[in-house]
Amino acid sequence: MKTKWLRRLGLSGLLALIGLPLAQAQAPAACPGLLNHQFTKLQDGSPMPLCQYAGKVILVVNTASKCAFTSQYEGLEKLYAELKDRGLVVLGFPSNDFGEQEPGSNQQIADFCRMTYGVQFPMAAKTVVKGPQANAFYRQLAERSDSTPKWNFHKYLINRDGSEVVAYTSLTAPDSRSLRKQVEQFLAKP
């Protein structure tokens, strides 16, 4: 009789009885609403759902290839390479919104970033990041941080659960003490 009962109960029921719910054992990290957006990846045109970065600390940067701040690509790549194994993701969003300093095609931008700065961090296809035409993700970042991009290389730092967004102006270099301190604080929290 006990054997029949156990068969009817099934694996999920058995796991629940011993305190291991099946859904919990198999469920990926929940996607915070802030990350519930999808873009096209600059490097290869594949889908780039932001939910894949749930549970990571994310540094979001609107980029441009012909800007006085373009050299920040080097620092962004260095920061990413150093901290990606601890959970940091740098996400680049090329935009032609400021001074038309990102006029190239997605392929030209991808080639420039790879060949000039060795960029390996994920980048979205060219997008709008300011004003009423800004993509929904950037509108949410601006709302949550109370800061809209004023120029290229504006930065948003998002904590692991997407509940906190800190903004940094273009003048904040990727190796700045204040940015680095906040990254470390966000990385230290599970």
Q: Indicate the average pLDDT of the chain.
A: 89
- Given the residues 31, 51, 67, 113, the one annotated as active site: 67
**Residue 22 scores a pLDDT above 80:** no
Cα-based distances in Å from 49 to 69, 92, 96, 124:
27, 14, 22, 10
- Residue 67 designated active-site: yes
pLDDT score for 190: 84
Comparing 28 with 68, which gets the higher pLDDT?
Answer: 68
- Domain-wise residue ranges, the chain: 1-28, 31-188
> Which string of DSSP letters, residue by residue, matches 113-126?
HHHHH---S-BBPS
For the cut 60, the answer to whether the pLDDT of residue 77 exceeds it is yes
Task: Dig out the tokens for 63 from the structure.
Answer: 């980029």
> What is the CATH topology of the domain spanning 31-188?
Glutaredoxin (3.40.30)
